[in-house]
Amino acid sequence: MTKADIVNEISKDTGIEKVTVQKAIEAFMETIKGSLVGGKNVYLRGFGSFIVKERAEKTARNISKNTTIIIPKHFIPAFKPSKSFVTNVKENVK
């Protein structure tokens, strides 16, 4: 499902114009991105959490040059679904 499909579904279910729904969805995503960039997690009860994970520094190999490189610690965005969401998917997806 793409963002356009989501906009169509919400518009069909609520009767709100597609342009308005699209602006709301894009504002929602920008707010989540801004919060994660600021180091703040976003918690949506019953759905899940958008969190910032810290990856530790590690040593890796560049196999084409046969050298060792150090990857510094860094932060990545992640999504952790709620238990009720996971249970719902497990029970209903066939």
Measured CA to CA, the distance from residue 91 to residue 47 in angstroms comes to 16
**Verdict on whether the full-model pTM lies above 0.85:** no
Q: Supply the Cα-derived Rg of the chain in whole angstroms.
A: 19
Contact 52, 36 (CB under 8 A): yes
Q: What is the pLDDT of residues 48-59, one digit of tens each?
A: 999 999 999 999
CB-CB neighbours of 21 under 10 Å: 19
Asked whether residue 29 is domain-assigned, the answer is yes
Q: What is the pLDDT of residues 26-83, one digit of tens each?
A: 999 999 999 999 999 999 999 999 999 999 999 999 999 999 999 999 999 999 999 9
Asked whether residue 24 is domain-assigned, the answer is yes
Asked whether residue 28 is domain-assigned, the answer is yes
Asked whether residue 56 is domain-assigned, the answer is no
| Bridge pairing between strands 74-81 and 67-71 | unpaired
List phi, psi (to 5°) of 78: -150, 160
